[in-house]
A and B are shown apart, each in its own frame.
Chain A
């Protein structure tokens, strides 16, 4: 039995309908508009999620065939066809379930988080639009639609980062995010053009079938330079992934994207959109497998991201920024997995990460509500007794993040580390060091964050005010008008709903996903590159892997991080500042984020504006208009002024000219004649 087109269409269109109704109808309904907005969008999401699970069930257990059909022709020129169509296999189905589930949970959470926001209906409209775009991206069966989804999620990300459009920082961050992503898209679009040039199609299936013909083909760069076609295509496509999945040096937009409301930090900037790059590379595995150069490039970029962005997370004080840098670092792990041809491992980590990172963000959001929109951890502490559900679920998410054995993060991350150790690709040694050191770093920033937020002494003061509920915005940092309290059920239920898969999903799925060839033909790995096949003999089930985890180096690095943080933040709080002072230069490097932002801003933003001024003043207004255009006009004026002298209208001028003329003529005749 095959999948039905109408079911797939409903999955995609239900969020879009929800978005349109919430966006265009709710504003005209007055007070009822708010209820209408969240009911309609959530109804759409429920439909999508239920059907997504149905699709997954059919593909995984129901024996359904993979779906690959065009819905309508977007354009057809000669044999070049661009269509809107769906390719749904197990990889897509898994993405649908993850995206749909997290999105639904976030929709629900938003009811509580955005309760008092004037942009309530707009927010629901945006997140449903995002879900639609993301579905279009993961369900695409061709490069055109992939690019559509790619840019559409970028648009929604832009709108949501700048959701609070009165904040100067928010509208700076959203412009920055869009621009940096566009740098990636620049490469991505060129990659798509290269695919069309060499493989003569935009359709996935046709392109993958034709992929082996790339071997031996070259791109003529200059008369004497040729580049391998597969390498060029893969690297160009990967540049797109570097933008969307925030890999060094295009990572700078993600921490700033935290200006957006917390629910979208969870949905877009942690769980789903930023993993689009990882998904895309996994989908394109038949192309990437043809170039080990490109994969080494992927590996080195990923490893660098994994370690160095994690380090920055250690010195952050904003609770959301810590998680943002953690997201960067985890995306680096996924990219490393791609780089060693372990595509299924990358997608596996993508899935587990989606759950535990969404959980951490939503938990942080819950803390932020309780702290009346204070995000600085230096004014928190001791919150565990005020908000036990948030506290426990956040610990669950943190355990998964630092890879405590048996949690889902443990299975996905340890598998990646082992695979890197097994790989012989150029750059694998460097990557192995980075991902291993990254474990210690992950532990440091995670435990530090948990201690600063939930444990230790309270570093905020509560001033009870009566009847002045709205005045707490003007209070100095660290002073609250009401004591913090646990968030309402619309916030805590999503936390619990995410905590369960964060702990269990890895244990349940590692066997089939990594070692059971669950993805089948969706992911293509060359036999010589297959690190998972090499590791498979050592895998004796999830239970055994969990127990073995206690003896591995990553576990002890994590324990080391735990001991350090516990000592520093629980037993000896003054220690943190002393360490900071002792390592001042290092701290400065991390605090300034290696000055990457400054350099890129000076080079591209300020540099671009300066270049524009130069072009405009000197060339457009100067050379063309000033000299050529207005210069010609002046020339005409001057010539005319000269010629005008000849026609003064005075008789004696003419008589004089005649006499001179006669003399010259006769004189000339006398001198030169004959």
Chain B
């Protein structure tokens, strides 16, 4: 049996970037078509992952290559249900990003496309690494194409935004690197499964926990280390924003699942309340901040922070539920909610940023006050915009509902107070999203910008249809996704129940 599928998925887009680069700026259409072809091939190849058997062992499709022999570092890859879901989401969104960024970038489009392909490959790498150093390498490498995307094709304040992005996330990574080195000198390996089984004292776990937490919290991002995200989004080109919101934020929470839960379960349980409080702050406080943003992209960026709050809440509530009340089922429900929310947010936030991109291409402004009555000029766009806005407010039937519903249900068992604060998203989430819709979409046409907007073209329609399929499929029938991740979640819950001291 062919068992290099994971390597293939990583390297296909990265190596594929070379011919795209070779197409050169003189032949932009060739570069774009090649890029699209590569993402489609990658997506089709990733469908192979559906061979993952949810009833089989947790990690499957494993492959190992010696990387740095002297240190005993292996380039090991494998996937569980969570990785499969995230990789499929990544490859699917990959097609939509390339499709969405088709015409917009006129300046060196071949490099832009190549950059996005490399980014896709690296992100896939993050999701299937089972060696901590391999994970770290991909985790950090992701920054490079993102840095270039914003720095090269970004808005007027791109230098500030890229520096902020880089320094912020790099600072976090340093802590993670130190944590990894400590673990290495104890276990003499970077293999994640071995590290998970490593006995550690509470003191060690505490230091490691905060090392990992800082690194991942910045990537998610969690309050109060979130301020790089709105700036990065505002300056990024649409494609960069979609990658950032749809997939890049998930590597932070994914890291929590792979490092904090198995390696430092006792410290995690002890300090879970910190993360829970910060998550609730993200949901409520960031909701209010999002409400008053004058810039559409900033508004959606803040709403991303709030929605990612549900992911971190679901993950760390599991500690509370398992350790305090031994409520395994509710812990699984919360964790599943967090995971579904990760996938869902990929589609919803990706779609929201694509919608903003569609409008920006026509008007070259992101200020909400420059809009009003867009639906008069772009009726079908209005349909999609309302659909995705409703998904953003967590309307049942869309993917946005599923994860939040699960987390809120589980949270009531942990504490009614947590439930009250996180259910507040129903009000504030609807507030900032629908007020945005009111000011942008509804109303009479009042500004010059809107007067000249043209209806959706075929390519844009297909991209939005792609997002809509993702949003509705998960919203109407989440069970296949839940089933795919079920055994992995059960495994995680076991891991966090283990006392290492």
Q: A residues near B, CB below 8 A?
A: 72-80, 144, 147-148, 151-152, 155, 158-159, 162, 165-166, 168, 171-172, 175, 178-179, 182-183, 185-186, 189-190, 192-194, 196-197, 219-221, 608-609, 611-613, 615-616, 619-620, 624-625, 628-629
Q: Are A609 and B292 in contact (CB under 8 A)?
A: yes
Pull 6 A–B residue pairs with CB atoms less than 8 Å apart, ordered by A.
A75-B406, A78-B328, A147-B405, A166-B373, A197-B413, A629-B164
Could you tell me which residues of chain B, from 471 to 497, have a CB within 8 Å of some CB in chain A? 477-479, 482-483, 486, 489
In the bound complex, CA of A194 to CA of B395 (Å): 20
Q: Are B413 and A616 in contact (CB under 8 A)?
A: no
Taken residue by residue from 400 to 443, chain B's Cβ proximity to chain A (1 for < 8 Å, 0 otherwise) reads as 01100110110111001001100110111011001100100111
In the bound complex, CA of A80 to CA of B489 (Å): 15
Q: How far is the CB of B335 from chain A (nearest CB, A)?
A: 9
Contact of A182 among B376, B416, B430, B435 (CB under 8 A): B430
Does B214 count as interface, using CB distance less than 8 angstroms?
no
Q: Are B289 and A144 in contact (CB under 8 A)?
A: no
Does B96 count as interface, using CB distance less than 8 angstroms?
no
Q: Are A162 and B442 in contact (CB under 8 A)?
A: yes
> What are the nearest 4 A-B pairs in CB distance?
A193-B412, A78-B329, A612-B292, A148-B396
Chain B CB within 10 Å — which of A77, A159, A196 has the most? A77
Q: B residues near A, CB below 8 A?
A: 164, 168, 224, 227, 285, 288-293, 328-330, 332-333, 336, 373, 375-376, 386, 390, 395-397, 401-402, 405-406, 408-409, 411-413, 416, 419-420, 423-424, 426-428, 430-431, 434-435, 438, 441-444, 477-479, 482-483, 486, 489
A168 contact set on B, CB distance < 8 A: 443-444
Contact of B288 among A76, A611, A628 (CB under 8 A): A611
B441 contact set on A, CB distance < 8 A: 165
Contact of B289 among A183, A196, A616 (CB under 8 A): A616
> Which residue in chain B gives the minimum CB-CB distance to A221?
B416
Contact of A155 among B329, B390, B408 (CB under 8 A): B390
Q: How far is the CB of B81 from chain A (nearest CB, A)?
A: 13
> Which residue in chain B gives the minimum CB-CB distance to A146?
B396
Q: Are B332 and A78 in contact (CB under 8 A)?
A: yes
DSSP class of B's interface residues: helix, strand, loop or mixed?
A: helix
> Which residue in chain B gives the minimum CB-CB distance to A145?
B396
Q: Are A171 and B438 in contact (CB under 8 A)?
A: yes
DSSP class of A's interface residues: helix, strand, loop or mixed?
A: helix
Contact of B412 among A196, A608, A628 (CB under 8 A): A196
> Which residue in chain A gives the minimum CB-CB distance to B425?
A186
Q: Are B444 and A77 in contact (CB under 8 A)?
A: no
- Given A175-B435, A186-B427, A166-B419 contact (CB < 8 Å): no
> Which residue in chain A gives the minimum CB-CB distance to B383?
A23
Contact of A189 among B164, B423, B428, B489 (CB under 8 A): B423
Q: How far is the CB of A444 from chain B (nearest CB, A)?
A: 36
Q: Are A77 and B482 in contact (CB under 8 A)?
A: yes
Q: Are B227 and A625 in contact (CB under 8 A)?
A: yes
Q: Are A193 and B397 in contact (CB under 8 A)?
A: no
Q: Are A193 and B419 in contact (CB under 8 A)?
A: yes
> Which residue in chain A gives the minimum CB-CB distance to B485?
A77
Q: Are B227 and A620 in contact (CB under 8 A)?
A: yes
In the bound complex, CA of A178 to CA of B430 (Å): 8
Q: Are B376 and A190 in contact (CB under 8 A)?
A: no
Contact of A144 among B227, B293, B405, B419 (CB under 8 A): B405
In the bound complex, CA of A416 to CA of B91 (Å): 61
Contact of B375 among A148, A152, A165, A172 (CB under 8 A): A165
Q: How far is the CB of B467 from chain A (nearest CB, A)?
A: 17
A190 contact set on B, CB distance < 8 A: 408, 412, 416, 419-420, 423
Q: Are B292 and A183 in contact (CB under 8 A)?
A: no
Contact of A75 among B288, B330, B482 (CB under 8 A): B482
A625 contact set on B, CB distance < 8 A: 227
In the bound complex, CA of A196 to CA of B329 (Å): 12
Q: How far is the CB of A484 from chain B (nearest CB, A)?
A: 29
Q: Are A192 and B409 in contact (CB under 8 A)?
A: yes
> Which residue in chain A gives the minimum CB-CB distance to B395?
A151
- Given A155-B390, A179-B430, A185-B426, A194-B412 contact (CB < 8 Å): yes
In the bound complex, CA of A611 to CA of B292 (Å): 9
B289 contact set on A, CB distance < 8 A: 612, 615-616, 619-620
If A179-B427, A185-B426, A190-B408 are given as contacts, then 12 extra A-B residue pairs at C-beta distance below 8 Å, sorted by A number, are A72-B477, A72-B479, A78-B333, A148-B396, A175-B438, A179-B434, A182-B426, A182-B430, A190-B412, A190-B423, A220-B416, A629-B164
Q: Are A219 and B416 in contact (CB under 8 A)?
A: yes
In the bound complex, CA of A23 to CA of B479 (Å): 28
Q: Are A193 and B411 in contact (CB under 8 A)?
A: yes
Q: How far is the CB of B481 from chain A (nearest CB, A)?
A: 9
Contact of B376 among A166, A219, A608, A619 (CB under 8 A): A166
